[in-house]
Structure 1
């Protein structure tokens, strides 16, 4: 029974993929969407069944399908591990995935390749489920690579635009860089423990297995490099903002709730190993804090509504890695969940706006939309308040716990995280004010066609806004349900600080910081009525921030162009060598032909002489053999 249900959970989206990719074009425009949505909803139903079962028994469900690899001192089974952590992840992957599929039915209705879109979405969910369900690192790696492939397909879905193709290639290549580190880390762990099974590694440590801490540190650092690629941390973060080239539901699915959280899932899954290498944990915390600050700073000056949300995602992922580096795995997971709620709502809300404006994404050409898009505005406002860290919405509780943990770990990291949080409040309400307030700044034709989005678009927004409002109750101070729920899979629980004066002061600072950020945005964009200038009129530090600190240009100058140059040089050498060989044989053949031609001089006597010499040579050769 459990095996069949686990296979349903995994294979339902894959079945949706197969149906849509082979038969979807013949099914019309709406049917592929409903097939894809029902497939993911079936996975959500199976996940919910397992979730309730594990909630009751407190025992993980292990499903062993078949032996996979059998070597002398190394073996791997193709098996699944449905425990508290994996089921929690599957709940929001399949749950939010279902809502995004439902949203996409309306959003992508007029696209000529809608069947391919839902096929790719289903395939993505299939690989994400495999990544989370696997009981070992090799199965995780299959899902890890699979979601990378699907992100390439979805980001470049509108392939007729070359810029979108370039964005897809950029995401694929930068993820491959991180994935190489991830693969090296797996190899080192396999060498150290003779297994890549999570439970096998944990059992080996509990039984006193001797391990080289230097090599373990290298392995965990390599795994973290993989996490940097997948979860967009410095220096491998620049692919995620460019990935906004894909359709908006792709942004919501991949870059809010699923793929970009894979790195956090992997680190949390291997928390018992990361705890053994505190130096690597410190690196994770520092990288997370710096990423959060830099991404938030870039978000201050962006004018593309989706680019603002993209850099917001990078910043929030940085806060999650800050929590992981401080050893607060439960708190990082808490923020993953609340972030999935409000960021998915924000991305889908931006899609609703873009849908109403017929593809317009520049906030400088928006304004006044709250009057005609009341549901979109209300849900967007709720989610913006949540991400800004204003109580009592979900984002406040998870972000406050991260900052509190960072303060007790290292006050400098707390200060960096706090500044990033103030910036978050500012740029989110900058987005709100520029998009929904004042007068409409678009064209008259756009203004004439302004309307609220259809119910299939607004319904997921309402559900996600409600979750962003009440989602914090899963880990409120005092009850800490999530911490207790995750206790079986977290080796060293996060330190819980009593609700003393320090805690209240830190909470107060966080709330005041959020209010300051919101107030600054209100003063600048409502009171003063400012609108960001056009690109040619941007100068000074604003231009540097608007151009993302020129990191892409730096990578192009220091890495891409030298690699291209080296490649062209090697290509020239190879071509020269091959040409030399080919031309050499050709010249030799020509030379032999020229010499041979002189022998064909028309002299009968010379021909008879050669004939006699040939006969004598043959006779002499036969005589010598005998």
Structure 2
């Protein structure tokens, strides 16, 4: 079984290489087969390995494969070593399985694009990089995959590079995530200085013996790793790149938000949980950042009008729930929400792409409407994803994963009532903006004529994801309802068990409150956007409400703040420093070269008389030297 591990990232890598080198000469059917087929084959291998893993757990609860020694110095070595444990298995399954469905959808969605091969080559490389990130047995190889997904996000967000705004969005994503990447790199250097290794199993073993709990050195390392995760997972204050990343094609948005890049930070924290557990400050910071982010992003989602930006802010908010869970020590709950979120968020983005494509690339939800009966497959699948996002009680996968997080936000060892209060407020907001999205897009009068409807290559992945958005949560029930914990039993082979505070209130109280709050959010959205829309008109006439709406619409002003504090001063400094000494030196060299060129060009003017005179002057000069000598 170990020998099959390398095939999982190797197949998408092979697809990337083939399409990059020969794609422009291949028909689209072959390109689609290579692009989608390579990821689908990787998904099948993952399922096979996963079945073997569950039926006959390997020694040490992990499969490993060493391919070759990558680098070796006096006291440092790093190999191309792959590892498949319980945590890796969950992520690899999501990356390959959801990634395969997105690729199949893309074969139809991108069929009219002239850069068909470039698209699938970039998508394959994206999947390969993410697989390397989660399968790496050492942090150096993980960092290679980490930077690979950053590169691929730049290529895919700016895929339609003819539009300047798309290029700006790609640059923004690249620059902002580099902040977190730099912090992570520094954290790795400090970790190696302390432990003398970047091998993950060795770090997990040596860290508890080497670091004193709460010591400054382990706290700095954990905070730097947290900063790296914040950049990739778009958590405050590094969240501003993700809404603009919607400039890419809809399948790219689905891949980034559901299966790859934004989940990398969640994986990093979970993978390095031993280091984080040694730092109460880092754990508290993780929980606080997640709580603040889920609330801020949820408020922004309420005010958006672009269907993909609503889902983008929703992703930021849901990743915030995962960070909150990890910060309070609810490790399995955070990963379980990643698991269910991947299905319903991929579904929502792909269904949104189908709506946008059918409505002639219209993104504004208030120019849609009336699609419920005219696009029934998209409607019912979108409804399944929306139910999971809103966490409708007992009938959606999102309920089972989010309910755990809400419960642990109060009752886990690092939880407290304030974290629970913010999380429950986020649940109310999520239910509200999800209902708003459904009603505005699918009910009411049709405002844009439907063009070409999606074919089977687009609708079949939607139906598969819709089923999973409902049933995927049934593998992990609340303990007070049904004693079924298949998911946590699996991931706790690697992650620690969640510890509860003594004397916590009964779980059923939190479940009833969460259910009531969710239904209240749904009802509020129904009233405001369907039953009694006159309330909204009154709010629009209020300057205070309009200002608040614009504040949320602009993402709480973070872009304006960064533009004022960082971007404009940087441009100002570059302008006043335009002619510094180095520029003058370079300009002097260029000017000197230009003048010499003009002088030498004067001697090559094509006039025979000048050439003869030049020869005579040369002869006289040589004779003069001889006579003088």
The match for 2:454 is 453
Deviations 1:465-506 (A, max 9, x none): 11010111222122222221112211x311268999621111
Distance in 2 of aligned mates of 1:24 and 1:583: 45
The match for 1:570 is 577
The match for 1:606 is none
Deviations 1:302-360 (A, max 9, x none): 00000000000000011110111101111100000010011111001101101110100
The match for 2:529 is 525
Q: Give the 3 Å change call, closer, same or farther, for CA 304–582 of structure 1 in structure 2.
A: closer
After superposition, residues 428-443 of structure 1 pair within 5 angstroms as: 428-442=434-448
Contact 2:270–2:331 (CA under 8 A) maintained in structure 1: yes
Q: Give the 3 Å change call, closer, same or farther, for CA 488–579 of structure 1 in structure 2.
A: same
Deviations 1:16-56 (A, max 9, x none): 11222222222222321221111001111121122122223
Per the alignment, in what secondary structure is the counterpart of residue 303 of structure 2?
A: coil
Per the alignment, in what secondary structure is the counterpart of residue 506 of structure 2?
A: helix
Distance in 2 of aligned mates of 1:584 and 1:102: 59
The match for 1:27 is 26
The match for 1:602 is none
The match for 2:617 is none
1:263 Cα offset (Å): 0.4
TM-score (norm 2): 0.89
After superposition, residues 221-236 of structure 1 pair within 5 angstroms as: 221-236=223-238
Distance in 2 of aligned mates of 1:499 and 1:374: 49
After superposition, residues 81-480 of structure 1 pair within 5 angstroms as: 81-205=83-207, 213-392=215-394, 393-408=396-411, 409-442=415-448, 446-447=449-450, 449=451, 452-477=453-478, 478-480=483-485
5+ long unaligned stretches in structure 2: 596-624
The match for 2:2 is 2
Per the alignment, in what secondary structure is the counterpart of residue 63 of structure 1?
A: strand
Deviations 1:141-187 (A, max 9, x none): 00000011001111111111110010001001111111000111111
Deviations 1:498-532 (A, max 9, x none): 99962111111111111111111111111124698
Deviations 1:533-574 (A, max 9, x none): 9xx999321122222222111111110111122233333213
Distance in 1 of aligned mates of 2:626 and 2:213: 79
Contact 1:34–1:102 (CA under 8 A) maintained in structure 2: no
Distance in 1 of aligned mates of 2:505 and 2:193: 49
1:581 Cα offset (Å): 8.1
1:215 Cα offset (Å): 1.6
The RMSD of aligned alpha carbons is: 2.7
Distance in 2 of aligned mates of 1:585 and 1:260: 50
Larger radius of gyration: 1
Contact 2:161–2:167 (CA under 8 A) maintained in structure 1: yes
The match for 2:606 is none
Shifted more, 209-218 versus 263-272: the winner is 209-218
Contact 1:30–1:109 (CA under 8 A) maintained in structure 2: no
1:139 Cα offset (Å): 0.6
The match for 1:39 is 38
Per the alignment, in what secondary structure is the counterpart of residue 66 of structure 2?
A: strand
Contact 1:525–1:531 (CA under 8 A) maintained in structure 2: no
Distance in 1 of aligned mates of 2:593 and 2:192: 50
Contact 2:213–2:278 (CA under 8 A) maintained in structure 1: no
Distance in 1 of aligned mates of 2:315 and 2:491: 24
The match for 1:601 is none
Contact 1:364–1:532 (CA under 8 A) maintained in structure 2: no
Matched, 1:544 2:565: no
Distance in 2 of aligned mates of 1:267 and 1:39: 29
List, as ranges, runs of 4+ consecutive aligned residues in structure 1 with deviation greater than 3 Å: 205-212, 496-501, 529-533, 536-539, 576-587
Matched, 1:485 2:486: no
Distance in 2 of aligned mates of 1:45 and 1:541: 49
TM-score (norm 1): 0.89
